[in-house]
Chain A
Amino acid sequence: MAAQAHLLLSMAWHFALISLFAIGGGVSMLIPQIHQEFVLQYHWLDERSFAELLAVSQAAPGPNFLLIPLIGFRVASWAGAGVSIVAFLVFPVTITFFVGRLLHQHENEWIARFRRAFRPITGGLWIASGLVVAAATDHGVIPVAITIGVAAVSLAFDISPLWWCIAAGIAGAVLA
């Protein structure tokens, strides 16, 4: 019981901290950090679970942020899912609520500049996320080929990523 409470608390702390840095590109930018802490440092998840959660969070309907409660659920069941949602959302939602009201009264100029400054960071961190996920989970020629292939075709055809996930799943099953 005490161990469970301790686990929930430390997970909550990590998610609350991470949430403050999910700026400009949502949860996917932070995947290297989540992987570092949850898999490599604290061993709350193994590589296999991490890969599975990532796949399900992308393939499931709903915002990509669902990765967070899915991780919580895998680590500590329903309590984990609840705690991770609250921990990840409490600061951002509070900040957004007040900033939203403030901006409604007078539109602010610095937001535009801040956003411009953030775009290259987001782009770089998305690529870093792709590389970290590929390095952690692509074992063998087929997954590496799928990663490169999906990157290439989804650059050429800008359609919902779900289709690439489905196509890759079928290809993976057939080639196995």
Chain B
Amino acid sequence: MNVGLTSVGGAGGPLRYVVVKQRKWLSEREYAELFGVAQALPGATAVNYAVMISDRFAGPLGPVAALAGLIIPSLLVAIAMLGIASQLAATNARFAAAENAVTAAVAGIFLSNGIRLIAQIWRGTPDLRAAWRAARVAVSALGIVLVAGFHMFVPLAMLVLLALSMIIETRLRGVNEA
């Protein structure tokens, strides 16, 4: 389970490679399903995923070993990087500017991840009436306004949005069956 060190910017890619291609623990489809469950549960997706996989394939101590393998090596590397980075940023204006630029890039990456997901929601179901797709996108938009605009307590915002979204999906199920 030494996926941790080889995964940059989210462990999804390398995790899939090891579990599906290298070890052949799961098929592509089973992998996707289990990954979805890991995402739907609270916590860090990669950590949840490692817990479920290792519980199935590595015995009772599996989850403990998997968590240690996933977290400890990469955390030590990250802490070392942090030490070097803050040292350099404090003494070198050019490095400080570079670091600032990386944070700006991270903001951009979050924006594009969100935009990409919303575009998928819109385009992924071309058969669905535009009003339903617009309702889903409106949930996203409301989330942006509540959290970024009004700095609402995020757990509360999520509960409100989830209630709305579940109403939409439940109604939608009725439409599909009709």
Decide whether A and B are members of one complex. Answer: yes
A interface residues (Cβ-Cβ under 8 A, vs B): 17-33, 36, 51-66, 68-70, 73-74, 81, 85, 88-89, 91-93, 95-97, 99-101, 103-104, 107, 111-135, 137-139, 142-144, 146-152, 154-155, 158, 160-162, 164-165, 167-173, 175-176
Looking at the assembled complex, report how far the CB atom of B3 sits from the nearest CB atom of chain A, in whole angstroms: 9
- Residues on A with C-beta less than 8 A from B165 are 117-118, 120-121
What is the interface of chain B mostly: helix, strand, loop, or mixed? helix
Asked whether A61 and B104 contact (CB < 8 A) given A25-B39, A100-B37, A125-B143, the answer is: no
- Residues on B with C-beta less than 8 A from A146 are 101, 104-105, 108
**How distant is the Cα of A118 from the Cα of B161 in the complex, in angstroms?**
9
The reply on B130 being an interface residue by CB < 8 A is no
The reply on B58 being an interface residue by CB < 8 A is no
**How distant is the Cα of A27 from the Cα of B44 in the complex, in angstroms?**
6
Among A101, A111, A120, A160, contact of B40 (Cβ-Cβ < 8 Å): A111
**How distant is the Cα of A161 from the Cα of B138 in the complex, in angstroms?**
27
- Residues on A with C-beta less than 8 A from B115 are 123, 127, 151, 155
Q: Which partner residue on chain B sits nearest A60 by CB separation?
A: B78
Q: Does B43 contact A176, Cβ atoms closer than 8 Å?
A: no
Q: Which partner residue on chain A sits nearest B10 by CB separation?
A: A64
Q: Does A66 contact B111, Cβ atoms closer than 8 Å?
A: no
Asked whether A128 and B148 contact (CB < 8 A) given A66-B78, A97-B63, the answer is: yes
The 5 closest A-B pairs by CB, nearest first: A92-B43, A172-B101, A62-B74, A124-B143, A150-B108
Looking at the assembled complex, report how far the CB atom of B54 sits from the nearest CB atom of chain A, in whole angstroms: 10
Q: Does B107 contact A137, Cβ atoms closer than 8 Å?
A: yes
- Residues on A with C-beta less than 8 A from B140 are 120-121, 123-124, 127
Q: Does A120 contact B137, Cβ atoms closer than 8 Å?
A: yes
Q: Does A26 contact B106, Cβ atoms closer than 8 Å?
A: no
Asked whether A117 and B169 contact (CB < 8 A) given A127-B140, A127-B148, the answer is: yes
The reply on B29 being an interface residue by CB < 8 A is no
Contact bitstring B127-143, A, C-beta under 8 A = 1, else 0: 00000000011011111
Q: Which residue among A61, A63, A148, A167 has the maximum number of chain B CB atoms within 10 Å of its CB?
A: A63
Q: Which residue among B44, B79, B144 has the maximum number of chain A CB atoms within 10 Å of its CB?
A: B44
Looking at the assembled complex, report how far the CB atom of B147 sits from the nearest CB atom of chain A, in whole angstroms: 4
Q: Does A57 contact B78, Cβ atoms closer than 8 Å?
A: yes
Among B85, B97, B103, contact of A176 (Cβ-Cβ < 8 Å): B97
6 other contacts beyond A26-B44, A121-B139, A126-B113, with CB at 8 A cut-off? Answer: A33-B155, A107-B33, A124-B143, A126-B111, A129-B114, A151-B107
Q: Does B101 contact A126, Cβ atoms closer than 8 Å?
A: no
- Residues on B with C-beta less than 8 A from A99 are 37, 41
Q: Does B39 contact A52, Cβ atoms closer than 8 Å?
A: no
- Residues on B with C-beta less than 8 A from A73 are 79, 82
User: 14 A-B Cβ contacts within 8 A?
Assistant: A23-B40, A23-B41, A52-B86, A58-B109, A103-B37, A115-B39, A125-B143, A126-B114, A127-B144, A130-B111, A137-B100, A137-B104, A146-B101, A165-B102
**How distant is the Cα of A138 from the Cα of B106 in the complex, in angstroms?**
11
Q: Does A100 contact B51, Cβ atoms closer than 8 Å?
A: yes
The reply on B173 being an interface residue by CB < 8 A is yes
